A and B are shown apart, each in its own frame.
Chain A
Amino acid sequence: DTAVSQTPKYLVTQMGNDKSIKCEQNLGHDTMYWYKQDSKKFLKIMFSYNNKELIINETVPNRFSPKSPDKAHLNLHINSLELGDSAVYFCASSQVRSSGSDEQFFGPGTRLTVL
């Protein structure tokens, strides 16, 4: 049973195209995240949703638009792809309590290559 799944695993596309990445978690968590990991392995938070509500929106170009149809899903749509968008995108989920967020469970990642 995969806890956090993402599709597709690899995405190769031309500059200017629009693409989407899907994420689903079956852990019953109330919070989901999107991270971007660059070639130097630096992990940067992009967005976070709690119970379908946008909680964290870091300084990300508005070409990136997350959508959470329900607590178990968080999708990422990217318009007008640029070379600099090439990276690995990780989805994650966690349960957030009054004391803060518990451990995050990460998906397998989507390697996006923009040509």
Chain B
Amino acid sequence: AQSVSQHNHHVILSEAASLELGCNYSYGGTVNLFWYVQYPGQHLQLLLKYFSGDPLVKGIKGFEAEFIKSKFSFNLRKPSVQWSDTAEYFCAVNTGGFKTIFGAGTRLFVKA
């Protein structure tokens, strides 16, 4: 069965630290990849997405992600986090149909 793994369940960083959140999926075919963010008490919003083309994707608020097909990975990065980045981050994979599978989420806490 297709699955999405987010290795870090909880991450605590100080402001200005660099961030990398891991995401791996299990599917051998073409995929559409997404990272969503959920700020406390809010709904999920799209950070960035990858369908095809340049595997390095830039999103909102200084986030970027790199698709590495050989590793089935789509890791999220930000060079310098801010207190306002405290949120839950979800990686999601669509394998071409109607169903998008979400990872379990990574809770990021940024200390001011």
Does chain A bind chain B? yes
Secondary structure at chain B's binding surface: helix, strand, loop or mixed? Answer: strand
Answer yes or no: A34 CB below 8 A from chain B CBs.
no
Answer yes or no: A45 CB below 8 A from chain B CBs.
yes
Known: A99-B32, A106-B45, A109-B43. A45 touches B99 (CB 8 A): yes
Answer yes or no: B28 CB below 8 A from chain A CBs.
no
A43 pairs with B32, CB closer than 8 A: no
A48 pairs with B43, CB closer than 8 A: no
Mask for A84-115, Cβ within 8 A of B = 1, else 0?
A: 00000010101010011111101111000000
B49 pairs with A42, CB closer than 8 A: no
Q: Total number of A-B contacts with CB less than 8 angstroms?
A: 60
Inside 8 A of B97's CB, which chain A residues have their CB?
Answer: 96, 100-101
B residues apposed to A, CB below 8 Å: 30, 32, 34, 38, 42-46, 49, 51, 88, 90, 94-102, 104-105, 107
User: Could you write out 22 A-B pairs with CB less than 8 Å apart?
Assistant: A40-B104, A41-B104, A41-B105, A42-B104, A42-B105, A43-B44, A43-B90, A43-B105, A45-B101, A50-B98, A55-B98, A56-B98, A92-B44, A99-B96, A100-B30, A100-B32, A101-B98, A102-B32, A103-B46, A103-B49, A107-B43, A108-B42
